[in-house]
Structure 1
Amino acid sequence: MLLNQNRLLREMDHCGFDAIIGTAAENVTYLSGFWALPQWIRPGPQAYALQSRKGDAVDMSSIITSSGTLDLVADQDVTVERVRRYGEFSFQAGSNDKLDRASRKLMAMQAGTCFAHPIEALAAEIKELSLERSRIGIDIDGLQPGYLEKLKASVPDAHFVDATSTLRKVRTVKTSEEIARLRRVGQIAEQAVDAALGAAHAGMTEVEMARVFHTTTVQADAVPVLGCIGFGERSALMNVQPSDRELRQGDVIRFDVGGRYKHYRADIARIAMFGQNSEAVNQLYAALRSGVELGARLARPGAKASEVFLSVCEEVRRCGIANYQRNHVGHGIGLDGYDAPLLSASSKDVLEEGMVICIETPYYQIGAYGLQVEDMFVITAEGAERLTDAGPLKVIAP
């Protein structure tokens, strides 16, 4: 299960919520297991997941989604029993005796009441669950302008409270299933980097190397998401996108990459030298890696994110990059590539067991090269357990 039920209950108790509604793509998937394709590929499409209290447990209650996505509900391992649809979507029914399980489920949901508007469907579900006079948390990130006001007008006796930060907080501590998915997607990202570097040769373009990286990602049943791959001077472009720049002797190769596996994200960074080593690059890389390693030693339950940030930056400076500056040195990762916590100077976050974080130390010399060490860790009772390992600077023979 993705949902950390105990943590959700504690936060609902703390906020006095009788129910909570997810509207953003990550929160809908987290609360229900439902991956609404249109929501994930563009802003605007509406899908909601509603969780209500049931004594000392949450009731896996409801999904509200468009008629055109009912096939996804039918074909996925969703953790709800109630589905309401809005908006008509036409298709032809086949012979009942030849329908597979997903098709039968789709037809059954299609036979249910169809609402003209997503908020009408959500309001009807709130009333059906006798929540029309309840205190309800709702994340507002996925709502279209004016939709919250429409919901309040449709259920005037309910008290709606912004729960965007509440759901973000709940998602920070991962379940065992979430950690397993994050471990796997980290492994896939590392395998894809190794495959890309294994194909490196003089004259290879950034685009060609990216093609190997992403192909390996797909072959491992993950989906390409992040692919910053740059050679030489282009490696110093913070968000470099692969180009026709060809690989040359002495180039730094920088990867800031990841993929998505069963909806969960990887984010790692790797550095390699092509054809020859560089003592200057080695020293800089060692300082950056030392910062990440110190951060991993400090990352344990109860540690303040701001203190980890300050210590990592100071370690990089102590190890040779005297002018090292960053606005953050890491972040949480999960359904969102930038989950909480944030390892920054102003962060109020405190690390907890079960959080999965990326610790990173990028360094950019514009016009020369960019270097970056970034790895994924899960916080355990004993400290940070490594999910990925950048290791020493890689040197690739031409």
Structure 2
Amino acid sequence: MLKRVSALTVAAGSFSIPVAQWVVFWLVARAGGTAEAGAFALCLAAGTTIFTITNFGLRDSYITLHQRYRLRSYFLLRIAGGVLGSAAFLGFAATYSIDFSLVAVILWQKVADSFGELFCASLQRRRRLGSFGAVMLCNGIASLVLAFAASAATSSTTVIVGASAIGSSLSLAVAAFLVCRRVETCPGGALPSVSDLVTITRLSSPIAAWQGTAILVLNLPTWCVAALGEPEDIGRFAALAYLLIAGSLIGTTINSIYIGEYQGLLESRGSAHVIRTALRSALFAAACGLAFSTAFATFGSSMIQTIYGEGFKFSHADLALVGVAAALNPASQVIAAGLLVLNRYGRQFRVVAVSGVLMLIVASAMGSSEAPVILTGCLVALVGSGTKFALSVRYLRLPTASVPTGGPLSPSGHRPT
């Protein structure tokens, strides 16, 4: 019973965060129109991409690597990554002349999320899913309530986004408290050895390559629209692209749930059972997502205009392409959890790398033919999601000699494939 309640808490938390982030975008769009919505979307896409890269896969390596190192080692590496990410993000904002106040609040949110996810990784590794779900609920609910309160007091998009960033800070504080109640899991104490830091960085590098490429692929449709269209086009497409981001966020959280389950299956029943379970779960997730996308393509046009305003008008083709693309993201993340537990990091990188290349080819072809900008972004998104799902299924089913077949994990780990 307790396990079921914990899973439900994680599921509720997984929905609360994307819902809160969507509400923030909606409030920005209603307050500032398509132009300010476009600036916010572009800034958020850049911040998410940069910090995903500079986070260097430490969360997933802390959970899934067979070699074990103390949390303080990962925490020190995260500080270094946070400094690099902040510098890169500020450089991006200066290049595109984005309003500094908006940049500052998004930077605040990204830094808080970066450190919060490491504390959450400690909860996940110890399979404290109830606590993990509570942290996400704290983030989503606080962001939602504070953003609404700010929008009632002002029409400033910076204040609205800044209010939502407080939710990330609160969840960081809650996660740190839950972890640091046990002294041995707290990141403080003596500094780790240089050799540990080097080893963690080396072992995390395949995950970092995969995640960095994956986030670039996820935001590539937005970058294509930014390159081919006007700021208003970015704002309009961001209303659709948020569905892709929401699908990815939900998928990431589902991934977090399945990592613990798959890790237990690997230890008790072997890799073959992990593969069968991951494929079955992914097909179920895809079926549920496609049912949603059908309804979205049918009724989404009038709904979006009602929500965002008359400037946000889309064809049924646009909605259908984005709906299917978003539906496949959670299913791909279910399989990604299996690949992570089996330490098939190299295969994950190949999945997103091939997807990115195909998306660029489609974007170039559509751009040269002067196709509608929004349609181009939608088609690029579908090509990316479809390719990721198909290749993930293929690579999960391919055998590898380095995957354990049951029993306790070797403390020396296994060679990533």
Larger radius of gyration: 1
- Which structure ranks higher in relative contact order (CA pairs < 8 Å, sequence separation ≥ 6)? 2
- Return the structure number with greater strand share: 1
- Return the structure number with greater helix share: 2
TM-score (norm 2): 0.27
